[in-house]
Amino acid sequence: MKKIYGIILIAVVIVVLGAAAWILTAPQDKVLLTVSTTTSLYETGLLDVLEVEFEEMYPNIDVAFISQGTGLAIQTAKNGDADMILVHDAAREAAFLEDGYGVNRKIVAYNFFVIVGPESDPAGINGLGPVDALLAIKEAGEAGNAIWVSRGDDSGTHAMEKRLWIAGGEDASVLRENTNWYLERGSGMTDTLVLANEKFAYTMCDMGSYLNNYVSGNIELVILVEAGQETLNVYSAIACDPQNSGLSHVHFDEAMKFINFLASEKVQTIFANFGVNEFDQALFNPAVAILAENTNPTIAGWIRDAAFIDGTECPANKRYNAGDLTFVNIIASLNAMITPLLK
């Protein structure tokens, strides 16, 4: 009997150890982190690079990107179909926070919008500021000499275009309805650029999308209105607010890991280097150190003016369980500028 009991005990131990080993080695279910984002980030291939880096760091998280115009990206998150957003429209980001959908906004990168068109430049906009350029295109369009192609998709690029038209005293919706020279593509940046190229037309795009399409041979359009303060394009990451009853299911902890990842020195370096080998310049520029340390006072000032909300990256009442993530405000930026002068 003792031998039988001993055999039974050994068998039980083997089964228990085997089960434990299987539990430890069996594939674990991954958490799906859904990021609602813009076509300009997605189409350049940057997000593919970031996905690989993040999933190597967090093998229990699977990242999925939903690529849309900023308006749709934000609406997707409002509907509860994403865990965070990565977009570029400060006004709508502020509304997303204020309406109780988002927390912990962090500015992570920037580039610039440019106006591109045929090398022949029938509207004569080369060297003009963006508002004057649009008005010149309108005049040439009314004379039958130029075409403008708009994203027309409620994206961040489309929002910037509409703001520039307003600055020139024009309403893009009126132009769309009452002219034959103002076309809307209603799609992403690559599709818009390709249509403008086919029509020998003008359009506006972010520098990253332009370089990606120009160097790859998709388009022959040239930059006619250069980057500047009026066309600054700032990208921010925002976690969906789990305190909102309609968003209580979101993967908040995983979203915060991704936002901290974007703000990390390693990923900021990826921003700084992405595209340099192919295009001789980065498609996107890192923003974290510029704001926190004032490493480029001019750009830092432009970002503050264009993208801060109530004097900060993220209003204090819209911060929630942010952990080590820090938020820059105007006072901190000014201190970063003054401190080196006092040494």
Q: Domain with 153 in it: what CATH number?
A: 3.40.190.10
Please indicate, yes or no, whether residues 132 and 221 belong to a single structural domain of this protein: yes
Q: How far apart are CA 49 and CA 40, in angstroms?
A: 14
| 61 within domain boundaries | yes
What's the structural domain count of the chain? 2
**Contact (CB, 8 A) for 181 and 117:** no
Please indicate, yes or no, whether residues 135 and 224 belong to a single structural domain of this protein: yes
Q: How far apart are CA 93 and CA 260, in angstroms?
A: 18
Please indicate, yes or no, whether residues 182 and 92 belong to a single structural domain of this protein: no
Torsion angle (degrees, nearest 10) of CA 333, 334, 336, 340? 160
Domain boundary among 230, 251, 272: 230
Nearest to 87 by CA among 162, 159, 152: 159
Tokens encoding 206: 């972010």
Please indicate, yes or no, whether residues 130 and 218 belong to a single structural domain of this protein: yes
SS3 233: strand
**Contact (CB, 8 A) for 86 and 96:** no
Domain boundary among 174, 196, 230: 230
Please indicate, yes or no, whether residues 222 and 316 belong to a single structural domain of this protein: no
pTM: 0.85
Is the CA virtual torsion 144, 146, 151, 156 positive or negative?
negative
Please indicate, yes or no, whether residues 105 and 242 belong to a single structural domain of this protein: yes
Tokens encoding 90: 């400060």
**Contact (CB, 8 A) for 303 and 333:** no
Please indicate, yes or no, whether residues 243 and 218 belong to a single structural domain of this protein: no
**pLDDT value, residue 15:** 45
Per the structure, the complete domain to which residue 164 belongs is given by 112-230
Nearest to 241 by CA among 163, 314, 159: 314
**pLDDT value, residue 8:** 53
Please indicate, yes or no, whether residues 106 and 251 belong to a single structural domain of this protein: yes
Per-residue pLDDT of the chain (343 residues; tens, 9 = 90+): 555 555 554 544 454 444 444 444 445 589 999 999 998 888 889 999 999 999 999 999 999 999 998 999 999 999 999 999 999 999 999 999 999 999 999 999 999 999 999 999 999 999 999 999 999 999 999 999 999 999 988 888 999 999 999 999 999 999 998 899 999 998 889 999 999 999 999 999 999 999 999 999 999 999 999 889 999 999 999 999 999 999 999 999 999 999 999 999 999 999 999 999 988 889 999 999 999 999 999 999 999 999 999 999 999 999 999 999 999 998 766 565 565 555 5
| 135 within domain boundaries | yes
Please indicate, yes or no, whether residues 101 and 127 belong to a single structural domain of this protein: no
Please indicate, yes or no, whether residues 226 and 117 belong to a single structural domain of this protein: yes
